[in-house]
Amino acid sequence: MLTTANEKLIALYPAHLAIIKSRFDAALAVAGYDSVVIGAGPQIIRFLDDQSYPFKPNPHILQWLPLLQHPESALLYQPGERPELLIHQSNDFWHAPPELPGAPWEEYFDLTPLPRLEDIDAAQKQLHGRVAYIGDPKQWRHNPPVVDQNPETLLTHLHFYRPLRTDYEIECIRIANTQAVPAHRAAEQAFGDGASEYEILMAFLAACRSTENELPYPAIVAKNSHAAVLHYQHYNCEPGHHNSLLIDAGCSCNGYASDITRTYGNALSKSEGSDEFINLIAGMDELQRQLVTQVSSGTPFVNLHAAAHLAIGTLLQQSGIVSTSISDPVDAGITAAFFPHGLGHFLGLQVHEVGSSIADPAGTEIERPEHYPNLRLIRTLEPNQVLTIEPGLYFIDSLLNKLKSKPAGRAIDWGKITYLKKFGGIRIEDNILVTADGHENLTRQAFKSC
């Protein structure tokens, strides 16, 4: 399976590289630059220490090739010329130097291993004409003009096209979903066996054969009331109660991410509200599936987000949490207390991919919707975009307390809230490819095939 997937990626890569070159050619021309240096990123040392933070490469260099473990390296590109990779390989017996990129990458780049950072910097200065530098400014040791470091016109042009995926990028995200699904199944099994959050994380990592640092984002493993914290960041080592599990975790393929969330209840629990919570999960799963059917080219994402609020309002009323005496839970401000985040975001080289609020390569900002001014993704959907669809329903004390003080709070069954709070909340998240005639659910497809 893996060999076949790699062979497909290798076959798709030349066309992908041609598209990336053309995008950089156009962006450089618009911004008035003759060439570009893309830094992989510096190795950042902790304060008063000799240990470094985990290396996370510049996503702009990952578009060209998966240079995942090569801090201080750089890519030099001049339109019409063969791109050159300056790979930092220090003569250091304390650490293993990063391997040079092999096939197929070596076929398309001039590879120059350099042991000294000064040599990498000297090579950059040999570029002719006006040079743009993309990446963390800490990597540039010869202090190029500030105006040429991450120039806004250049970056905006590149960021507009980032969400428009090549076939190679789509296949990378598809593989990242396929890698994550067995790990999600392992996490579900561990929860069923009574594991702690930490043990569930270990089961996930073992199943996808990844280290924590290799995941595209820190996995969220939230049992019970912890699921009410949207980006819960801890891993409790004590098993505790087994009321619920929300796991939000993905894998990476060549730097491209998957981002998957599932929520589970404990069918064997005798805790008050367990059956109700499991029914809520089933309702949210069906709701999420219905929202995915509305994903299509030409649809403003804001419309999908608004549809999510309407659907969540209906689910809240069907479950008895909100009285049917309220004709519109959205206008009453009720749904915002239970669903405080956006329905989704673009997905790719970054989990929250750039380019989500601009209308054109010049960076014209799309007017923000009046009812959802903080929504991350507001572009109209187009073919070859990949996005997440992730409705949620949470019991968050700070938001519920505000709701309780408002007139709409009288429509809430606070008795139900009291015993449902111990489950934290629910989120169901899939990765969706927009196609010319609709969509493809990369996540559900992976669950079916794995």
Judge whether residue 98 has pLDDT over 90. no
What are the C-alpha distances in Å from 173 to residues 250, 291, 353, 386? Answer: 10, 21, 13, 9
d(CA 76, CA 85): 6
Helices (H), strands (E): how many in the chain?
A: 12, 15
Judge whether residue 244 has pLDDT over 90. yes
Q: Among 61-70, 91-100, 437-446, which is the least confidently predicted range?
A: 91-100
Cis peptide before 151 (omega within 30 of 0): no
Rounded to 5 degrees, φ, ψ at 201 are -60, -45
- Beta-carbon contacts of 318 under 8 Å, excluding residues fewer than 6 positions away, are 283
Q: Tell me what the mean pLDDT of segment 56-83 comes to.
A: 96
Which pLDDT score, from 0 to 100, does residue 3 have?
Answer: 63
* Two tokens, residue 256: 């491209």
Token pair 């929250």 is at which residue? 352
CB 401 within 8 A of CB 410: no
Domain residue extents for the chain: 13-161, 167-449
Closest by CA to 344, choosing from 441, 278, 239, is 441
For the chain, give the percent of residues with pLDDT over 90.
88
d(CA 95, CA 70): 13
**From the candidate CATH numbers 3.40.50.720, 3.40.50.970, 3.30.360.10, 3.40.350.10, the one assigned to the domain spanning 13-161:** 3.40.350.10
Average pLDDT along the chain: 95
Angle subtended by helix axes 167-192 and 2-31, to nearest 10:
130
Q: Tell me what the mean pLDDT of segment 254-280 comes to.
A: 94
Q: Among 20-34, 219-233, 267-281, which is the least confidently predicted range?
A: 267-281
* Two tokens, residue 325: 């005496």
Q: Tell me what the mean pLDDT of segment 141-150 comes to.
A: 93
Which pLDDT score, from 0 to 100, does residue 142 have?
Answer: 87
CB 243 within 8 A of CB 267: no
Judge whether residue 1 has pLDDT over 70. no
CB 61 within 8 A of CB 17: no
Which pLDDT score, from 0 to 100, does residue 107 have?
Answer: 94
d(CA 400, CA 404): 6
pLDDT in tens, 286-332: 999 999 999 999 999 999 999 999 999 999 999 999 999 999 999 99
Q: Give the pLDDT band of residue 125 (cuts 50, 70, 90).
A: confident
Q: 167-449: what fold?
A: Creatine Amidinohydrolase (3.90.230)
Judge whether residue 372 has pLDDT over 60. yes
pTM metric for this prediction: 0.96
Q: Tell me what the mean pLDDT of segment 47-58 comes to.
A: 94
